[in-house]
Amino acid sequence: MIHETLSGRRLECDDPSGELATFLGRLSSAVTDPAVTEDAFVALLYGRENPILDRSIFADRGAVTAQVTANPLWYVMTDLLGRKQVALGRLDVDAAAARFTLSVADTAARLGISESAVRQAIESRRLPAWRKGGKWFIDPRAADAFMPGKQGPERATVPALEVRVGLLAGASLRLCGVDTSALERDSLDTKAWAGQLREWESIGVLWSHGDKARFFRLVPGGEPAEIANQGLFVRGRFTIAETDNNARRARARFAEHVKK
C-alpha cells in the first residue's frame, strides 16, 4: 500500500487486513461524508476502535505511544484527518504549503549541518517538511526550533515539542512550566494555540474532558511520544516522569506545578 500525504511524503505500508482494513475504510469514507464533523472524525481516530492505538492506558480512548508513531499507518490516518479538514474548508493546503520556504541547502546553512543531515531529519520526521516540485522545503520556524541558534548541533540540547493546546470540542489540554508566548492562535480553532516549544526542563500537562482529568509531568529525552485529547496534543521526544489519573489530584498537582 502506498499513500501520499498532503505534504508530499510517500508512505509505504503493508496492505491492511481484517480489523485494520475495516477501520481504515471507515476513516477514508468519513473524509468525504458531509455528515461526519471534524470533532466526530477526531473522536473516531483517537477512540478505542482504532486498532493500532494502545488500548491498555486509558479506559475511554486509545493512546498514541512510541510503537504507534513508528507505524507508517498512523501517518496515513493523521493525513486523512488533514484531508477531512480540507473537505470541510477548515484547512487551506496552499496557505499551509506557503509557510515552507527554506530549501534543504538553505536549512543546512542556517543550522550549520550537512544537507544529508537535514534529509535524514526529514525522513525520520524530526523536521517537518513539504514537498514542492519534487524538492523538500522547510518552515523557517521549524528549522529554528529544531536546532536553536546558528552555532551548530552542539547547541541543541533539548528536543523541541510540537503542541496544539487550549480548548477544543469540550476537551482541553493545558501546559505549565514552559514559555508558551511563541505559540500562535490556531487558524482552525480560535480557542487553540499551536507551534513548537524549546528550551524546557519540566512541563506540567493537564488533560481534561468533562469531569475527567489527568496530570502528566514531562522531562526531555526518550522515544517519540504523544499525549493527545480530541485534536489537541503534545508531541516529541519526552519521558513521562509523573502521572496521576485521579481528577481531583490531577488538578491539584497541576496547580502546584504552576506555582513552581
CA geometry: angle 182, 152, 147, nearest 5 deg: 25
Higher pLDDT, 244 or 181: 244
On whether both 145 and 177 belong to a single domain, the answer is no
CA-to-CA dists, residue 257 to 105, 204, 206, 215, 251, angstroms: 42, 6, 10, 10, 10
Residue 23, pLDDT > 60, answer: yes
- Give the whole-angstrom CA distance, residue 147 versus residue 157: 9
Domain count, the chain: 3
In a domain, residue 190? The reply is: yes
Q: Give yes or no for a contact between 140 and 180, defined as CB atoms under 8 angstroms apart.
A: no
Name the domain boundary from 55, 89, 123.
89
Question: DSSP class of residue 156?
Answer: -
State the pLDDT confidence band at 190, using cuts at 50, 70 and 90: low
Banded model confidence at residue 240, pLDDT cuts 50, 70, 90:
confident
Q: The domain spanning residue 111 has which CATH number?
A: 1.10.1660.10
Q: Is residue 170 part of a domain?
A: yes
Is residue 201 located within the same domain as residue 253? yes
Separation CA 72–CA 188 (nearest Å):
25
Domain co-membership, 30 together with 113: no
pLDDT above 90: percentage of residues in the chain: 41
* Higher local confidence (pLDDT), 219 or 132: 132
C-alpha span between 152 and 108 (Å, rounded): 10
Query: What band does 54 get if pLDDT is binned at 50, 70 and 90?
Result: confident
Within a domain: residue 173? yes
Whether residue 138 sits in one domain with residue 201? no
Contact 53, 46 (CB under 8 A): yes
The HSE-up count of residue 127 (CA atoms within 13 Å, CB side) is 29
pLDDT of 28 over the 60 cut: yes
Q: How far apart are CA 83 and CA 45, in angstroms?
A: 13
186 and 240 together in one domain: yes
Evaluate whether residue 57 is within a structural domain. Answer: yes
Judge whether residue 198 has pLDDT over 60.
yes
What's the pLDDT tens digit per position in 225-234? Answer: 899 988 899 9
Same domain, 137 and 200: no
Residue 200 shares a structural domain with residue 120:
no
Residue 186 lies in a domain: yes
Establish if 156 belongs to a structural domain: no
Residue 244 has pLDDT above 60, yes or no: yes
- Residues 99, 92, 96, CA angle at the centre, nearest 5°? 15
Q: What residues make up the domain containing 85? A: 2-89
Q: What is the pLDDT of residue 152?
A: 41
Q: Residue 155 domain-assigned?
A: no
Give the separation between CA 127 and CA 120, rounded to whole angstroms. 9
Position 151 pLDDT exceeds 60? no
Name the pLDDT band for 144 (thresholds 50, 70, 90).
Answer: confident
Give the tens place of pLDDT for each residue, 67-125: 888 889 999 999 999 999 999 998 899 998 999 999 999 999 988 888 988 998 898 88
- Could you read off the pLDDT of 160-170 as tens digits, one per residue? 888 989 988 78
In contact, 155 and 164? CB cutoff 8 Å: no
Task: Measure the CA–CA gap between 158 and 172, rounded to whole angstroms.
Answer: 26
Residues 75 and 36 in one domain: yes
Specify the pLDDT at position 154: 40
Give the whole-angstrom CA distance, residue 38 versus residue 87: 10
- The pLDDT value recorded for residue 236 is 86
Residue ending a domain, choose from 89, 112, 133: 89
Among residues 47, 67, 89, which one ends one of the domains?
A: 89
Q: Is the same domain home to 7 and 77?
A: yes
Question: Do residues 19 and 50 share a domain?
Answer: yes
pLDDT of residue 27: 96
pLDDT at residue 46 in the model:
86
CB atoms within 10 A of CB 128: 20
| Structure confidence at residue 87 (pLDDT) | 94
Q: Which candidate, 71, 162, 47, 142, places its Cα nearest to that of 102?
A: 142
Residue 74 falls inside a structural domain: yes
